[in-house]
């Protein structure tokens, strides 16, 4: 899977790129409008991560150009603009998704995965982590073949864990993923604790093993046992 990251801030670009490489993506970085355009003409990318404020142009214009030229890459806008900007001005028109800075890296990963799934809906609809499986179509989750009775939020949480297995997920990242734009609540992280607790209980009740470990003061991690 090939990703083009269009971002002019070198340190942020480096961090995002190294994270994506760890997740087994091929990631190239274009720090300017011109360089991005050149790369898009020459190569094909599955996903373009597009910053709006570029030193030599506006990312939105690049997006329009892409769509005009019939480039089929999916585009996720990553911008410091407020979420409300996108809603009020239709800034993200033509893009597949948008995410506002600062964002948790696992969230970016989840968004990329969701987009890829939308692009090829028939391919591999089941994600697996050891003996846990989740069907993305029916949203049915099983442990050792036994169906888990999960709420929508818990299903969402489990998928987020599986998609980011082996990674630290901060409480804030989980809260942002579960409630998204609904809450700016900093104390909604307390509710994350409740949801994770319920999820773990349901998995162990169904006879599964609790693979989720807690990192105190920080968050959670879905880890295969050593």
* 220/208 Cα distance (integer angstroms): 18
Distances (CA, A) of 75 to 8, 65, 185: 17, 12, 29
Q: Which is nearer to other proteins, 87 or 118 (CB)?
A: 87
**Smallest separation, CB 192 to other proteins (Å):** 10
Q: Which is nearer to other proteins, 188 or 209 (CB)?
A: 188
Handedness of CA 79, 84, 85, 90 (dihedral sign): positive
Contact residues for other proteins, defined by CB under 8 A: 9, 11-12, 15-16, 18-19, 22, 80-82, 84-85, 87-88, 100-106, 151, 153, 167-168, 170, 172, 179, 181-188, 191, 194-195, 215-218
Q: Which is nearer to other proteins, 124 or 216 (CB)?
A: 216
**Smallest separation, CB 78 to other proteins (Å):** 8
DSSP 3-49: EEEE-S-HHHHHHHHHHHHHTT-EEEEE-SHHHHHHHHHHS--SEEE
**Smallest separation, CB 167 to other proteins (Å):** 6
Tokens 């570029």 label which residue? 54
Q: Which is nearer to other proteins, 108 or 132 (CB)?
A: 108
């Amino acid at each position: 899977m090939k990703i083009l990251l269009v971002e002019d801030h070198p340190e942020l670009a480096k961090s995002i790129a190294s994270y994506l490489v760890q997740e087994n993506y091929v990631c190239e970085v274009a720090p300017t409008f011109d360089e991005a355009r050149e790369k898009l003409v020459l190569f094909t990318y599955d996903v373009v991560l597009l910053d709006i404020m570029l030193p030599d142009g506006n990312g939105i214009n690049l997006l329009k150009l892409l769509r005009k030229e019939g480039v089929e890459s999916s585009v996720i806008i990553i911008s410091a603009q407020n979420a409300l900007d996108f809603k009020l001005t239709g800034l993200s028109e033509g893009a597949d998704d948008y995410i506002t800075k600062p964002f948790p890296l696992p969230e970016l990963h989840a968004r990329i995965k969701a987009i890829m799934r939308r692009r090829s809906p028939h391919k591999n609809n089941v994600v697996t982590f050891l003996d846990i499986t989740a069907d993305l179509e029916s949203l049915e989750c099983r442990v050792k073949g036994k169906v888990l009775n999960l709420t929508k939020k818990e299903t969402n949480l489990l998928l987020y864990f599986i998609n980011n297995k082996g990674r630290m997920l901060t409480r804030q990242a989980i809260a942002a993923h579960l409630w998204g734009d609904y809450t700016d609540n900093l104390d909604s992280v307390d509710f994350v604790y409740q949801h994770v607790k319920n999820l773990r209980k349901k998995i162990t009740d169904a006879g599964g093993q609790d693979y989720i470990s807690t990192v105190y003061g920080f968050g959670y991690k879905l880890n295969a046992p050593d």
